Amino acid sequence: MCREANVTLGAVTFHFRSKAALASAVVEEGTGELRGLGTAGPATGRPLHELTSLVLRVATALQTTVLTRAAVRLVEEGHGCSGWPGDFRAQVLRLAEEAAATGDLAADVRPATAVHVVLHVMEGVAANARRAAPRGGPPVADVEEIWYAVLGGLAADAL
């Protein structure tokens, strides 16, 4: 992690007296950035477009920002506590429910199922980004292309 962040272990241990303090700081900063991404998109009245924008903003952060990726991993592994995963899930559910109400969600897709699909895509993005980071290259998968393939199964009509 120090190598990815381009800092020395000495610098880290000078500022953080314990692993728990470091994990807490990483989680707070990284999930704070994710929360900001969740509020960055404008309300358009087109819930699947808003969902696409949200998914692609978060996926880009997971792929390109070490702090964000580390924060999510620490929370997933139980080394930090954050309400961000629940907030993200709630945003996705709200947008899926709006899409269902407007007839934009495929009739055979429940909003809860759409949430599960989005969460699985995001887990894959995070895992792929973690694998790509040590090699110093971009993640292999083209998230936007994958997302539009997934969206084709969620949307009532092509967007």
Q: From start to end of 14-125, where are the E strands? A: none
pLDDT digits (tens, 9 = 90+) for 66-82: 888 889 889 888 888 88
Q: What is the pLDDT of residue 159?
A: 54
Note the pTM of the prediction, 2 decimals.
0.80
Q: What is the average pLDDT score of the chain? A: 84
Section 20-31 average pLDDT: 85
Give the model's confidence band at 84: pLDDT under 50 very low, under 70 low, under 90 confident, else very high. Answer: confident
Section 114-127 average pLDDT: 91
Q: What is the pLDDT of residue 136?
A: 56
Residue type, 58: V
pLDDT digits (tens, 9 = 90+) for 34-77: 888 877 777 788 999 999 999 999 998 888 888 888 898 898 88
Reading the block at residue 155, the tokens are 């949307």
Give the model's confidence band at 115: pLDDT under 50 very low, under 70 low, under 90 confident, else very high. Answer: very high
On the question of pLDDT at 5 being above 70, the answer is: no
Residue 17 is classified by DSSP as S
Q: What is the pLDDT of residue 111?
A: 97
Reading the block at residue 21, the tokens are 């303090």
- Give the Cα separation of 24 and 81 in Å (integer): 8
Domain residue extents for the chain: 26-154
